[in-house]
Amino acid sequence: MSKHPKETERLKKIIESFPKITITVVGDLVADEFVFGEISRVSREAPVLILKHRDRTVVPGGGANAINNLADLGVNVLPVGVVGDDEPGRLLLKGFRHKRIPVSGVLKDKSYTTVTKTRILAGMAHTARQQVVRVDREPEAEPNRHLKRELVLAAREYARVSDALLVSDYGYGAATPGILEAIRQRGRLDQVPVVLDSRHRMLDYSGVTAATPNEPEVEEAMGMRIGHDWARLCAAGAQVMAQMKLQSLVITRGRDGMVAFAGQHKPVDIPIFGSDEVADVTGAGDTVIATFTAAMAAGASTEEAAQLANYAGGIVVMKRGTATVSQQELLHALEKAPPATRPH
């Protein structure tokens, strides 16, 4: 079911207001490294392919990808996180500076290793590249007590001048429930919406306004299987809303789009924008939470914010690697197809 042109106009106004808003992101900053090689032959030593190195790129991933997406949407973004004194950390900071993103809230520490996810991609000349293996480099431990205290102080400072706080928790210790609690204690966050994306401990957070988990994360948190059961999905969403005392919840469902929950309203089922022949889902969740948070900060309702996040998610999965969506792409998508919902 497509929506009225008035709603399209309203969504357009929300996107156009992005440059007027400021969002603080507290997150686990990840470097996504892509190493490309052409298959030259099979090794004589073992039955493995030998790749001729062709290219290497390092782009922001995890919480850093959410930051990158906000910047490309035109939002004023204030990042808070930790990187190591290493090449991936330096490349992340360089990328932020290139986009004029302030880096004073990003702590650099010699004892910390920047989380780096290296994807090796192989292909023949002029063919699509396939991911062969992924190698993750992670710090031995979470950021130390001193670093966590500095994170909290920076986040409190930024949150006071922000329209929303985005928490991106990939489990590496820079965006824990304890850190959010410490920010809230003296951070005067009562009027600032807090939007959460947490891999494995969503229910451990308190004082959160909205969350954007994917369906498997909800299944893990609730200890249940949803499958294609609409009633079960609605029940799981209501349970998460109640347990976390949320005002809004968006559950992303891959090629099945997303479902938005708000207060006592009926859940809204939003079909995927564009083709369901997905090119790459890497980092799509970061794009979704960035767009959703930007829209909420700009005064959108839960359904309006979810619709814009759905457009952004549909655009980014058609791009290879960790990618972002620009303000212009979002406006163009809106012109191309009006927002839609599925009846139940």
Tokens of residue 315, six digits: 């655009």
Rounded to 5 degrees, φ, ψ at 40 are -100, -40
Return the residue matching tokens 């590249």: 129
Question: Is 286 an active-site residue?
Answer: yes
Q: Could you tell me if 239 and 222 are in contact, meaning their C-beta atoms sit under 8 angstroms apart?
A: yes
Residue of 27, 344, 325 whose CA lies nearest to 169: 27
What is the number of residues in the chain?
Answer: 344
Residue 109: how many CB atoms within 10 A of its CB?
A: 18
Residue 222: how many CB atoms within 10 A of its CB?
A: 18
Residue of 293, 218, 220 whose CA lies nearest to 25: 293
Tokens of residue 81, six digits: 């996180």
CA atoms of 40 and 37, how far apart (whole Å): 9
| Cα dihedral 155→68→197→232 (10° resolution) | 160
CA atoms of 148 and 193, how far apart (whole Å): 22
**Exactly one of 109, 163, 269, 286 is catalytic; which is it?**
286
By three-state DSSP, how is residue 149 classified? helix
Residue 259: how many CB atoms within 10 A of its CB?
A: 24
Active site residues: 286
